[in-house]
Amino acid sequence: LRQGLGRLRALLDRHVVGHDEAKGALLLALVCREHIYLEGPPGSAKTRMAEVAARGSSLGFFFYQMHRDTRLSELVGDVVLERRALADGEGERIHQTIEPGGILTAEICVLDDVSRAPGEALNVLLRILNERKFGDRPIPLLTAIATSNPLRDEYYNEPLDPANLDRFAIQLRVAGLIQSGDRSLARALVDQFADGRVVEQPEPEAVLGRADLDALHAALARIDVPAAEKDRLIEFLRRLVVDYDCDETNSLLTDRSFLVKAVKLLRGSALLAGRERVEREDLAVLHLMTTFRVPEEVHEKVPELIEEIIA
């Protein structure tokens, strides 16, 4: 079962140097069928990773570059105006419908530079992501990968509003290898390009099929979550709220994310590690949930907090 995932990981490693955490998070998102949000400065391989992960999994793929004028219709298909004569022959009925396309028909999508789209416009898109249905129609989407630049004035972007950010269960920051000062990785990256190994490989081959993903998803549901780990999850939340003063004004500790999706991610972490039950070390995935949901200084202490709870 995990061979497919291994192949996808190898594909990611072949195309992108470093970024261990982000690659792991992408696999986790695919396995759990959750959405993921990557934020990082320009040129830090966010889009590249998203694309490789998406294309490597042979799913119906949709890529959209967000821009300032992004409108819903560009994402969901074509607007169709339908005219029908009225029965009495003295007029017509005009009906506006949408011919599904874009994210309505994709299984995996990459939404690039998501914060460039106007904040209000995103809401409906992210609602579709969240509910995985459009109107009354369920959509086949499994995972959406969104990327964004950090909020700085020079990028002309707008922050996602808090409710929207919550739709992405997994969230993380990505830093460029050169910027983060990792000499050996930066060297490896330079080597790769200098040797011409990554000349343009625009279409990474698909290494993971829909059947593999379905099997993984079925396995996910079978993973046991012992009561002790549920208690630890609650303890983690209690500590954030009580000891670190996370409340509605500064954090986004929603029931949907931390009582429903968190359990799924714990299972996903166990599955990726090849286990049939959640163990205490799986709690480390909670760090991928708090990135933009608690104040920055609290997020920095989350690994420490998880260590304490595990101990």
Partner 1 sequence: VALSEGKRQSAGVVDPSLLSLARALRDALDPVLVAHGDGKTGLVLALLAREHAYLEGPPGCGKSALALAFARIAGARLMQASFHRDTSAVELLGSPRLRRQRRGNAERLAFELMPGPLATAEVLLLDDLSRAPGEALAPLLRILSERRAAGAALPLETAIATAGAADLESYADPLEPSQLDRFAVQIRMRGLVSGRRFERARTLLDRDGEPPLHAVLDTDQRHALQRAVAALTIEPAARAALLRAVERLRAAAGDEPALLSDRAFARAAPGILKAHAFLRGAERVEAIDVRALRFMLARRVPESLEPHVAAILEDALLEGAPVPAPPPSTRPAAAGESGRAADSPVPVPGLETVPAPIEGIAPQARARGDDDAASVENLIQALLGRLERGAVARGEDPGGQPRGWRRMRRLDELLDADPVDALLYAQGRSTAPRVYRRERRNAGGTLAVLRDVSASMEGRLSRWAGQVVAGLVRTGARRRMRMGYVEFNHEAERFEAGGAFFHRRYRRLLALASRRRAEGRTNYEAPLRSALAELRGTAGRERHVVLLTDGVPLLGDPSVRHERALARELGVKVHTVFLGLGECPEVLDEISRETRGSGFAARPRPDGRVTVIERATGPRSARGRSEQSGGEH
Binding site for partner 1 (CB under 8 A): 68-73, 79, 81, 83, 86, 90-96, 117-121, 123-124, 127, 136, 150-153, 158-159, 161-163, 166, 225, 227, 230-231, 233-234, 237-238, 241-242, 246-260, 263, 295-296
3-state SS class at 227: helix
Residues whose CB is less than 8 angstroms from the CB of residue 12 and which lie 6 or more positions away in sequence, other chains included:
23, 26, 49, 52, 53, 56
- Closer residue to partner 1 in complex, CB, 62/134: 134
> For 256, which DSSP code?
I
Encoding tokens for residue 223?
């993973």
Encoding tokens for residue 258?
């931390």
- Closer residue to partner 1 in complex, CB, 140/150: 150
Closest C-alpha among 252, 221, 246, 260 to residue 305: 246
The greatest distance separating any two alpha carbons of the chain, rounded to the nearest whole angstrom, comes to 78
Q: Which strands sit side by side in the sheet containing 108-112, from one edge to the other?
A: 61-65, 108-112, 143-148, 36-39, 170-173
Encoding tokens for residue 142?
């499994």
Q: Cβ 50 to partner 1, closest distance in Å? A: 22
- Closer residue to partner 1 in complex, CB, 118/140: 118
- Closer residue to partner 1 in complex, CB, 109/262: 262
Q: Cβ 209 to partner 1, closest distance in Å? A: 27
Q: Cβ 7 to partner 1, closest distance in Å? A: 31
Q: Cβ 208 to partner 1, closest distance in Å? A: 27
Encoding tokens for residue 54?
């998406």
Side chain identity, residue 106:
A
Q: Cβ 302 to partner 1, closest distance in Å? A: 15
- Closer residue to partner 1 in complex, CB, 62/292: 292
- Closer residue to partner 1 in complex, CB, 199/227: 227
Q: Cβ 94 to partner 1, closest distance in Å? A: 5
Compute and round to an integer the Cα radius of gyration of the chain.
21
Query: Kind of pairing, strands 143-148 and 36-39?
Result: parallel
- Closer residue to partner 1 in complex, CB, 124/284: 124
Residues whose CB is less than 8 angstroms from the CB of residue 222 and which lie 6 or more positions away in sequence, other chains included:
276
CB 193 within 8 A of CB 283: no
Q: Cβ 68 to partner 1, closest distance in Å? A: 6
